[in-house]
Amino acid sequence: MKKSDNFFDKVYNVTRLIPHGKVTSYGAIATYLGAAKSARMVGWAMNKAHNLEDVPAHRVVNRKGLLTGKHHFDGTNLMQQLLESEGIVVVDNQIQDLETVFWNPMEELS
């Protein structure tokens, strides 16, 4: 049994459940986990998560739909390309029609 993977494990779990062609925000995941103020934790978890192939961190963006974490990916615009590859329109690191592609875990997984 791990001691602190509880929070992270949930983050990975939810992130893996993000449907193809959809995105969510750190705050949404944090809120779903019951730690709305710990959105930073989600991003931090992503830092490790991006090392895991099971966790599509590129589908997780900030509240504004901005690809804040793209700087952490291998390439410069790899994250944007991945999102565009899934049908998500991204311009200048900013997701277009965010409300259309936004996937709310607490509503979908509730």
Partner DNA sequence: GCGCTGACCAGAT
Partner DNA sequence: AATCTGGCCAGCG
Least Å from the CB of residue 16 to DNA? 14
Q: How many angstroms separate the Cα of 97 from the Cα of each of 32, 41, 65, 90, 102? A: 22, 26, 9, 9, 8
Nearer to DNA, 21 or 27 (CB): 27
Q: Output 43 or 105, the one with its CB closest to DNA.
A: 43
Count of residues making up the chain: 110
Residue 11 contacts by C-beta under 8 Å, 6 or more apart in sequence? 29, 33, 41, 42, 45, 46, 49
Cβ-based nearer residue to DNA, 74 or 91: 74
Task: Kindly state the smallest distance separating residue 70's Cβ from DNA, in Å.
Answer: 7
- Which positions touch DNA (CB under 7 A)? 4-5, 7-8, 25-27, 35, 37-44, 46-50, 57, 60, 62-64, 68-69, 71-73
The residue among 20 and 63 lying less far from DNA, judged by its C-beta, is 63
- Shortest CB 74 distance to DNA, Å: 11
Helix axis angle for 5-16 and 26-33, nearest 10°, is: 120
Q: Nearest distance from residue 26's CB to DNA, in Å?
A: 4
C-alpha span between 26 and 63 (Å, rounded): 7
